[in-house]
Each structure stands twice: as C-alpha cells, then as structure tokens.
Structure 1
C-alpha cells in the first residue's frame, strides 16, 4: 500500500489493523521479536504521518508492545497518549498480567480506580487484575477488587466469575473459591473446573480433587493435561501411588492425552516419596523425552529421604553439577556415615 506509486496514504484505521496483525502474530506464532520489529516500523510511520494523535492507534500500540513482551515501550506509549479510555487502561493492564508483572498490574488497577476522570474498570479490566492478585497470593487486594466488582454489578459476568474462582483458589481460600464456582450462572467450562480442581490440589485435598474430577466428567467436560497434573499432584501429596498410576495410564488410554515432562516428574516424585525408588529410577530413564533437572531433583530428594546412596548417586550423575545437588548428595552420605 505504501510502496505503490500514487497509492493513498494509510490513515489511523490502517495502522490499527496493521498493529493488530502484529499482535496476532506475536500471540499465535510466538514470534515476538519478529512481530516487535514490524511493530516498531509501523510505530515510526504512524508518528511521521501524525496518526499517533488518534486514541485508537495509541491503544493498538500499547496492545502490540504488550503482546510482544516489551512492557517498557507499552508504558511509554501509554504515558505519552493525550487521552485514555477504558481500552487504553485495560490494554496496559492485560500486558502487565500476561508478562508476569503482577505487582505493576495491581498498582495500575488501583491507579485506574483512583483517577477522578478515569473510566470505571469494566469486566475485561477486572479479569487481569484478579489474575495478578492470584499470582501474588494477595488475598486482601483481590477481595478489595471483588468488592468493587459487586458494587459495579459485574459479578455475573462469566469471565469475571471464573477469574474469581481462580483467584481464591490460588490464594488457598477454597471456601470462597467453591462459593463462586457454585454461583456461576453459566455451565462451568474447562478453565473454571481446572481452577477449582487445581486449587484443591495445592491444598493436598486429594478426595475433593478426585470427586470434582468425577463431577466434571459427568457434565461432559473433557479433561486436559492441566487437570491431570493437578490429580497427580494431589495423589503425590496423599501418597496414593496406585491411584496416581491408574490416572497416569488413563491419560493416554481413556482421554488420549500425551503426558508431558511435568506429568512424568510428578510420577517420579510420587514413586520416590513412597520408597519405590527402583521404579522411579526406571521411569526417569525410560520416559519418552529427556528427563530434566526437576525430575532428577525429585528422585534425588527421595533418595535423601530414604537414605539410598546407590540410586541417589546415579540420579546425581545424571544431573548437571550445581551446589543444591551437591548438598543433597552430601546429606545422603552423611546419613549413612559414608
């Protein structure tokens, strides 16, 4: 469009569409650097053609830089904008939450509510704020946001309701997590079930995890790898070896889910904690992908617990040298007075 002789000049809507394409590329193809380079070129041209004065272009730039992981540039664009609407604030808020800048996300949400002429947060803005509070396990900050949600009449929004389940679950407040889950107006989707089940798994409530999994299956929602990771983690904490092995086999046989490295690590940990070290060692050596440091550390920790220097040394030698592993191995030998 811009290279063809005699072509029309791009306007603010053209830049919005092109910047949206960069954001989509960064999200879908994970080519953040390539998308960022294209976005910077578009930013420079928008500035040269005086299109930055349009709020839609500014919002699109904030979104593009956020999706590309460049939050410093996203904040610079935001601060230089002559005016902001709810989309401006939400784009930056989403960027902080998606890039794990959780404290900045919570602070920005507070600024949004405190500004006199700032638009009131909508449902889309509340979701990343709750996610950030959950990641920080900041129960008090999240409760303040929840109170504001109720005052604004947003508690019935399906995305907000699901986010509340996840927030309370991450903070370990399973009573409120379950209350919000039960209060959902829409049928819970996989993500909402996952939030509740994972919350109980973190608390080691294996009975609740397995019961909820059964309820989820009865509603017709198909489990994914995240759900099974929560189940295996709960089995590990409860020492349910045979139950964990049964669900691990069911992942492939019944649900068609290929176990990932985290599932194998969980199984090695489960077996190791139960002093089935030979079985744990065999699984670590025969898994279809190369065992990572987390797998060997789980096995090494189990060897320390059960004072097994033979398998402990084998696990140690499979792991890249680091101080933490030397300490674990030294503890094993010390316990055996070697």
Structure 2
C-alpha cells in the first residue's frame, strides 16, 4: 500500500497536479513505512520546489521520516527549527529516532528537556522513552521512569509499557527478575511478552524456565506455529533431541510449516517486493 501511495504521487506529478500539505504528509508517511531514506529526501526536495508551507503536521511527518529512516541528526535539525510549532508528537518522534539508533542517553536528555519546557508527557512518549532505555542498557533509569508514570504523571501503564520493561530486563540478562515482574503484573501478559521471555531464557541459559513458559504458551494458543518453534529451539539448546523431535512431529500432525518471509529492495527510487520460491 505504501509503495502504491508513492506511485500515486508520481502520477500526480506527471499530470501536473500541485500537492498540498496533506498530500505531502501522506507521502512522507508512506516513505517512513517503506523505510526509504532516499525516497524521503526526494519528497522533501519536492516540498521545497513546490514552496509548500511547513505546518506542524508536515514538520512532524518530516521529522518522523528522517528519525525512523536513519538520519536522526537531520530530524533533530528540523525539530530545533520548529520553535513554537512543536507538539508532543514532535518530541516523541525525535525520542523514538534516538531510541532506534541506540542513542538512549540523548533520548533521556530530550525527554527531560521536554518536561522542563512544560510539555506534559503521555503514554506514547513513555513507550519511546522506555524503548530508549532498553536499547541503551539504561536499566535503572528505565525502572525509575516506569515508576514515575503513575507516581508523578498519573499515567496508568498499559501492556506496551510492561512489554518494554520485560524486554529491558531480558536484554540486560535479568531473566528471572523479568519473569517475576511478569508474574506481578496487574494485567494479563500477552504472547509477545511470553516469547520475549523465552528468547531471553534461550540466550541466557535459563532453559528450564524457557521450557515452562513455552509449554504454557502452547497450552494457551495451540495453533500458533512460533510457539512450537520456540519450544523446539529450547530443547535443541538442552540437547534433548527426543523432545525436540516430538515437538516437530506435533507440528507436522497439525499441518504447520514456516511461512517464507518477504523482502523489499529499492532501485532508482522504486520499491520492489521479493518473495523466495519454495
């Protein structure tokens, strides 16, 4: 769909239909979805050529595109040029970009700057902030920010925030603490949290715990292939080939098989899908 949106914009240009701010926001969103910095730069040049006035929404779309497509420094330059046009979305987009590129300390500093400027954080910016702490190993700061959500800002953590905390603890090798954290959650953990724990158990040698969680996931969702694959991988790590074989046999009886992934490549500002042949 995003590639179609870019092509539609090209068609508009060929028919000499002048785009407006709304059009450019949509096209930039498509570039972001495609992860194409080259396309995004081209769209920015179109904005300049058409002398389209940058309102807050267009600034935010540009910032989001640059932040997520790999040029977070350009996103920061645009952000700093906004002045009074900044919204919480502007702050969040830069924090997300910094988080994605492992610049957690800068993301934390920007969050503190945001709060200091009088902008009240919301649940979305806390997801970005916790993600920044996760990818930069800032576990203690992450804990403090998570606790501050309810205590200072009156924001009730949602499953996404709990998921960030579990991911943070798992990446830091604190698998048992992550498991205890999940057990104490006031809301039901989702399968993503379970699979995060299992992968951490496999990576950090907590194989019996991983086996226990995998078995529970299969019990809760017996038709989801990835749950069986995770359990099979745990048994492989344990060198328990008999149990690994039994899991694979169970998958075959249920007619399960892995679905091939899809890739996209960019050639001359055009996106092409690549699907492997089985």
- Cα contact 2:62–2:75 (8 A) shared by 1: yes
TM norm structure 1 = 0.66
Gaps of 5+ in 2: 241-278
Match of 1:186 among 84, 100, 103: 84
The verdict on how the C-alpha distance between 1:187 and 1:215 changes in structure 2, with shifts beyond 3 A counting, is farther
> For residues 112-123 of structure 1, what are the structure 2 equivalents within 5 Å?
112-116=12-16, 118=17, 120-123=18-21
| 1:266 aligns to 2:168 (yes or no) | no
CA RMSD in angstroms, aligned pairs only:
1.6
- Cα contact 1:155–1:161 (8 A) shared by 2: no
Q: Distance in 1 between matches of 2:100 and 2:63?
A: 14
Q: Distance in 1 between matches of 2:48 and 2:237?
A: 56
- Cα contact 1:156–1:185 (8 A) shared by 2: no
Gaps of 5+ in 1: 1-100
> For residues 92-241 of structure 1, what are the structure 2 equivalents within 5 Å?
101-116=1-16, 118=17, 120-241=18-139
Match of 2:201 among 299, 303, 319: 303
Deviations 1:28-60 (A, max 9, x none): xxxxxxxxxxxxxxxxxxxxxxxxxxxxxxxxx
Q: Which has the higher contact order (CA 8 A, sep 6+)?
A: 2
- Cα contact 2:95–2:132 (8 A) shared by 1: no
| 1:330 aligns to 2:198 (yes or no) | no
Q: Distance in 1 between matches of 2:90 and 2:69?
A: 15
Residue 293 of structure 1: aligned partner: 191
- Cα contact 2:28–2:61 (8 A) shared by 1: yes
- Cα contact 1:307–1:332 (8 A) shared by 2: no
> For residues 9-88 of structure 1, what are the structure 2 equivalents within 5 Å?
none
TM norm structure 2 = 0.80
Q: Distance in 1 between matches of 2:80 and 2:19?
A: 25
The verdict on how the C-alpha distance between 1:271 and 1:315 changes in structure 2, with shifts beyond 3 A counting, is same
- Cα contact 1:307–1:336 (8 A) shared by 2: no
Q: Secondary structure at the match of 1:318?
A: helix
Deviations 1:65-117 (A, max 9, x none): xxxxxxxxxxxxxxxxxxxxxxxxxxxxxxxxxxxx3122111111111104x
Q: How many pairs align?
A: 236
Q: Which structure has the larger Rg?
A: 1
